[in-house]
Structure 1
Amino acid sequence: MSDQRDELTAAEVEGFEGPASSRTMWHQPADTQGRVSIGGSRAEVAAGQISRLAATARAGERIGSKEDLRKLCGFSVGTMNEAIKLAQARGVITSRPGPGGGIFACDPSPLSRMNGWFRAAADDESAFAEAVQIRDAIAPLLVEEVLRQMTLADQQALEERLWEVRRARNSQAVSDFIWAGWALHEYIAGIGKRQLLDTLYLSIMDVGTSYLRAVLEATEPDVHLNGLAQVLEDLVDALNRCDTDAAVDALRRTDPTMILSPPPNSPL
């Protein structure tokens, strides 16, 4: 795969608040079939590594010079400069020039720590598993709120988004399929009126999508879209029928990484 990660500037990445599966961050080259080439920023990856290093240090502790971190992370000087700016903007490090200077860990606010955790979770399997556990715990709250607020217009909008999932599945357009699945979950979250709950839900779903991006980029596996597509069908059907238990069950079965393995009892 071609390396396209440097195409976004640090400022663009810092201001980007969309899902990992947005069309800005996903690319599907015409010369590949059933594969995804992941776009994004090397600076974002390096900033995540710096954040993880800072998280292991005490507040005010020196974690190294800029050159130390560059060698450790294996990125270019320009990429590391952008990464340090990102990490500073997120409140996880400070940079001091001159003798005795370097990069120092900060003690960010709880909100900054949470944001840093989400940003650094993309390629972390344990973070993905933790996110799934939290998503499963809040699923009943989310479904209850959605069913309380959902209108006939919302039902129609969900069917339209489900149609996009079907279209992408039938054409085996992997990036379009992931995008369509994200759009469906984004709309579901938007039906509710509890901003904290909805934002937490979408952030957790984005961890799964980000982790999927990392796996696809690293291994380029074959993909199997039918299983996840059926789960999304079940979710919308349950919401339309106002079946709380079935909707919670479908939501808990929603796992973006399902596309990496064939469904049980299906031919390989």
Structure 2
Amino acid sequence: MTVTPEGTASAGATASGGVRPDQRHGGAASPSAGVSPGGRGPEGGGRGTASGRAEGAAQRVTELIESLPPGSRLGTKEEMRTLCGVSVGTFNEALRLLQSRGLVTVKPGPGGGLFSAEQSPMVRLGNSVLALDTQQNDVADAVRIRDALDPLLIEDALWHASPADIASLRDHITAMERAVDDTDPVAFVHANWRLHAAIAAISPNSLLSSLYTSLLDLIEGHTLSVLPSGEQPLTEYIAQRHELHRALVDALDRRDRDEALRLIHEHNTSPAAPY
């Protein structure tokens, strides 16, 4: 999970959020700041492909962002490119990655440059919170509509799921279990969404299935991270959600309509809803 904590500037930044002059032209940076002990930045750090170098530069900037309060000035684009030790084209790609992840904003004009993104909007989901890049209201509405469609898709799955469909659903349950074992809530949520998409794909109603998967895509596309709500440990929460989804797939396999509908109701109305 990427959570931007309150903190002080790292070794590569001034108190005002800019880059120190001694690091603007290849000066030594702290190894913890993402530069190899040999002094090479991402361009020469063994990442041979262009995409690998861009990802390395993006990671270098991410590490700096994590040491600063939201909204901090990181420096000019050229200062950050020099700090990362990459070409203009590579840094432009890294900047695109950072912007797509909602981590960096670019402000033009005097005093402008690259800034760490302001605090992400949040949508509460039971005993956890999704940190979003934008569109808080849209995501909250999509979750409500998705929940309303779940019983329809469960009814279709009870009638139309083949043995191969059930086997596919169990593969997604296994992926969720691995995320629980790895204590990786982000991987768990993505595996969970893939399970729900697979249930939707069973429906012969193409309009219903398409609408549902579009809602999932909207939710997933704006989610940056999964955070604890403070009421229950996140690892305990996702373990409970895994068990609920495993029981739901078991009920679909048995064609147990009452149990499947009871579980999807619990899924969407319990304090641990909705994923």
Greater Rg, structure 1 or structure 2?
Answer: 2
Higher normalized helix content (fraction of residues): 1
TM-score by length of 1: 0.45
TM-score by length of 2: 0.44
